[in-house]
A and B are shown apart, each in its own frame.
Chain A
Amino acid sequence: ETGVTQTPRHLVMGMTNKKSLKCEQHLGHNAMYWYKQSAKKPLELMFVYNFKEQTENNSVPSRFSPECPNSSHLFLHLHTLQPEDSALYLCASGLVEFDEQFFGPGTRLTVL
Chain B
Amino acid sequence: AQSVTQPDIHITVSEGASLELRCNYSYGATPYLFWYVQSPGQGLQLLLKYFSGDTLVQGIKGFEAEFKRSQSSFNLRKPSVHWSDAAEYFCAVAARGGGNKLTFGTGTQLKVEL
Listed in ascending order, the chain A residues whose CB lies under 8 Å from chain B are 4, 6, 31, 40-43, 45, 48, 50, 55-56, 90, 92, 94-96, 98-106, 108
Interface residue count for B (Cβ, 8 Å)? 22
Is the pair B32, A99 in contact by a Cβ cutoff of 8 Å?
yes
Count contacts between A and B, CB distance < 8 Å: 56
Which chain B residue lies CB-closest to A99?
B94
Q: Rank and list the top 6 A-B pairs by shortest CB-CB distance, nearest first.
A: A103-B43, A99-B94, A103-B44, A43-B104, A105-B43, A99-B32
B90 on interface, CB distance cutoff 8 Å: yes
Q: Is the interface of A mostly helix, strand, loop or mixed?
A: strand
**Main SS class of interface, B:** strand
Q: Are B42 and A106 in contact (CB under 8 A)?
A: yes
19 contacts between A and B (CB under 8 A): A6-B43, A31-B100, A42-B105, A42-B106, A43-B104, A56-B101, A90-B43, A95-B100, A98-B100, A99-B94, A99-B100, A100-B46, A101-B100, A101-B102, A103-B43, A105-B42, A105-B43, A106-B41, A106-B43
Cβ-closest chain B residue relative to A6: B43
Chain B positions within 8 Å of A, measured between CB atoms, are 4, 32, 34, 36, 41-46, 49, 90, 94, 99-107
Cβ–Cβ < 8 Å partners of A55 in chain B: 99
In whole angstroms, what is the CA distance A102 to B49 when docked? 13
B46 touches A41 (CB 8 A): no
Tell me, in angstroms, the Cα distance from A99 to B4 when the chains sit together: 16
| Minimum Cβ distance to chain B for residue A64 (Å) | 18
A6 CB to nearest chain B CB (Å):
8
Nearest chain B CB to A4 CB, angstrom units? 7
With A56-B101, A99-B100: A90-B106 Cβ-Cβ less than 8 Å: no
Taking CB atoms, residues of chain A closer than 8 Å to B36 are 103
> Which of B32, B44, B101 contacts A90, CB < 8 Å?
B44
> Which residues of chain A are near B94, meaning CB under 8 Å?
99
User: Which chain A positions have C-beta within 8 A of B106?
Assistant: 40-42
